[in-house]
Amino acid sequence: MFIAIFLGLLLGGGAAVLFAQIPKNLLGSNIAPTDQSTTVPPTPSPTPISPDSLTLDIVFPKQQELIEEDEINVSGKTKPGATVIATSGIDEMTAAADETGTFSIPITVNQGANELLIVSLSGEDKTERVVVVNYITEEL
């Protein structure tokens, strides 16, 4: 048994050395080794947002907010002078953002869940947000 293991190790080791030397002998020793390191591509930097780009931040109402009145004031901030349109299932109102970009638009909503679409327009630029509010008539 010991002889079989010894012969197996001897033959296996000899085969490993032989196979390791064959590529060197076939290719020749005057060929320089190639660089096997991998090159990591550079990470692209984010594109900076221009201060003139059209943004739209909704301050009120918040997403999935419970409201107890059928008329609310949609308020937020966008580009100064932009036209802002707020649409509910039963109402559509328009206003202009003031010199600081602040706006407030009264809009009527239905009982239950309401999907409000708020759009800001300035020249060729358009940005929109969807906010869902829930108008309830029962006291919690």
Contact between 106 and 70 (Cβ < 8 Å): no
CATH among 2.60.40.10, 2.10.70.10, 3.40.50.2300, 2.120.10.30 for 56-135: 2.60.40.10
3-state secondary structure of 19: helix
Between residues 69 and 53, the one the model is more confident about: 69
Could you report the per-residue pLDDT of 26-64, keeping only the tens digit for each? 555 555 555 565 666 666 655 454 556 789 999 999 999
Give domain limits for the chain. 1-29, 56-135
**From residue 14, how far is each of 9, 19, 26, 84, 99 by CA, in Å?**
8, 9, 18, 81, 84
* Residue-level pLDDT at 53: 75
Mean pLDDT value across the chain: 81
Question: Which residues make Cβ contacts (< 8 Å) with residue 6, sequence separation at least 6?
Answer: none
Separation of alpha carbons 84 and 60, rounded Å: 14
Cα–Cα–Cα angle for 105, 107, 111, rounded to 5 degrees: 150
Residue 130 has pLDDT above 60, yes or no: yes
Separation of alpha carbons 130 and 117, rounded Å: 5
What is the pTM assigned to this prediction?
Answer: 0.60
